């Protein structure tokens, strides 16, 4: 069973930082073999700037390594004016039910 590590719409930056974000994105190391990346999906907003979503899928035995990789990836953007992020871990419903004794 895979868990999703999800940066869910919580990456944001002003439009004037888009070129710098894009350049840093191109310099990021590849995703490790134990993870699958879906995205990034980009949304431009009139006043709020730009938001991005990346979904990482990986086996539950690799969650700690996955969180470390995603965190390091976010750190790669530090210093960009207005850049913010949040990392969230989401479980598939069947796994979440097991955690509360219903699966």
CATH number at residue 21: 3.30.70
pTM reported for the whole predicted model: 0.80
Instruction: Say how many domains are in the chain.
Output: 1
* Torsional sign, CA 71, 73, 78, 82: negative
Helices of type H across the chain: 18-27, 63-75, 93-99
How confident is the model over 45-100, as pLDDT tens digits? 878 899 998 888 888 788 889 889 999 999 999 999 999 998 888 878 888 888 89
Whether the CB-CB separation of 28 and 73 falls below 8 Å is answered with yes
Give the residue numbers spanning the domain of 80. 2-99
> For residue 72, what pLDDT is reported?
92
């Amino acid at each position: 069973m895979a868990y999703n590590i999800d940066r869910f719409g919580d990456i944001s930056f002003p439009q004037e930082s888009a070129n710098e974000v894009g350049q840093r994105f191109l310099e990021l190391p590849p995703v490790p073999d134990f993870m699958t990346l879906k995205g990034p999906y980009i949304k431009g907003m009139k006043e709020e700037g730009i938001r991005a979503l990346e979904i990482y899928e990986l086996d539950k035995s690799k969650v700690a390594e996955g969180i470390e990789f995603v965190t390091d990836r976010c750190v790669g953007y530090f210093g960009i004016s207005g850049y913010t992020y949040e990392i969230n871990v989401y479980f598939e419903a069947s796994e979440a039910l097991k955690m509360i004794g219903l699966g």
